[in-house]
Amino acid sequence: MSNDVLLYSNLLLWLVVLILGAVVFGMVRQIGVLHERVAPMGALANDRGPDVGEMAPDMKIAGMDGGLVAIGGPVPGGRSRLLLFVSPSCPICKKLLPIARSFASGERLDVVIVGDGDVAEQREMIRANGLEGIPYVNSPQVGMAFQVGKLPYAILIDEDGVIRAKGLVNSREHLESLAIAKETGYGSIQAYLKARGFIKDEAAATKEAA
């Protein structure tokens, strides 16, 4: 009798293990499907200014430190250049500045901070966020050339002076998606969605999200 009970208990235990295994397998499979379907937290590009794939406006603007800062054109050393448009009155901009500072201290790309406003406020933002040593220009000319209308905004320019990505950047994920846009091949979240078949009209998606 006891042997029968033990046998039934073992059979029941194995049945429970098999059921749990099937459930776990199903959950893992579903997570993989969801991961495939969920779009990345990429930067949202607008439909104004020079397009991705075009040459960036080639300018040299006086920086806050008194030297000239190159905005477009070929980049010495074969490095990409990330332009980050910010304002002292923009709370999200201030949250992104430490990330931009970490990019500038790395070896992947050069970072240029672009402001447009009161010089004293710009200098205070440089001091408060430890941006000394990072090229910083305070000029409306740059924003007008790229037709930047909302902040914070970022543009990735490759070593040949070609725009590889651009868009509004409201989070770390947005900014990082632009920084690696050359490697991924997607210049904006719309480009990713269009390539994966989530949207058919990239321009319409841009206007709808704006």
Residue 52 lies in a domain: no
Pick the residue with more confidence: 188 or 53? 53
The amino acid present at 111, given as its one-letter code, is: V
CA-CA distance, 163 to 156, in Å (whole number)? 6
Reported as a single tens digit per residue, the pLDDT across 68-87 is 999 988 877 778 899 999 99
Please check the confidence at residue 210 and state whether its pLDDT lies above 90: no
Q: Are residues 93 and 185 in the same domain?
A: yes
Give 158's contacts (C-beta < 8 A, 6+ positions apart).
75, 80, 81, 164, 182
The pLDDT, as a whole number, for residue 105 is 78
Query: Structural domain tally of the chain?
Result: 2
The pLDDT, as a whole number, for residue 205 is 45
**How far is the first Cα of the chain from the last one, in angstroms, to the nearest whole number?**
74
Residue 44 lies in a domain: no
Residue 76 lies in a domain: yes
The domain spanning residue 171 has which CATH number?
3.40.30.10
The pLDDT, as a whole number, for residue 163 is 92
State the number of CA atoms in the 13 A half-sphere of 6 facing the CB: 3
Q: Are residues 180 and 95 in the same domain?
A: yes
The percent of residues in the chain predicted with pLDDT above 70, rounded, is 70
Domain that holds residue 93: 60-209
Residue 156 lies in a domain: yes
166: DSSP letter: E
Maximum separation of any 2 CA atoms in the chain, in Å? 94
Structure tokens, 202: 């990239």
Q: Are residues 97 and 182 in the same domain?
A: yes
* DSSP letter for each residue of 73-107: SPPGGG-EEEEEE--TT-HHHHHHHHHHHHHHHSS
Q: Are residues 15 and 113 in the same domain?
A: no
Residue 124 lies in a domain: yes
Rounded to two decimals, the pTM is: 0.69
- 115-119, 158-162, 179-183, 186-190, range with the lowest pLDDT: 186-190
Q: Is the peptide bond before 152 cis (omega within 30 degrees of 0)?
A: yes
Please check the confidence at residue 122 and state whether its pLDDT lies above 90: yes
Q: Are residues 32 and 91 in the same domain?
A: no
Q: Are residues 19 and 67 in the same domain?
A: no
Q: Which secondary structure element, helix H or strand E, spans residue 167, and what is its range?
A: strand 163-168
Q: Are residues 26 and 86 in the same domain?
A: no
Q: Are residues 25 and 81 in the same domain?
A: no
The pLDDT, as a whole number, for residue 6 is 65
Q: Are residues 122 and 182 in the same domain?
A: yes
Residue 46 lies in a domain: no
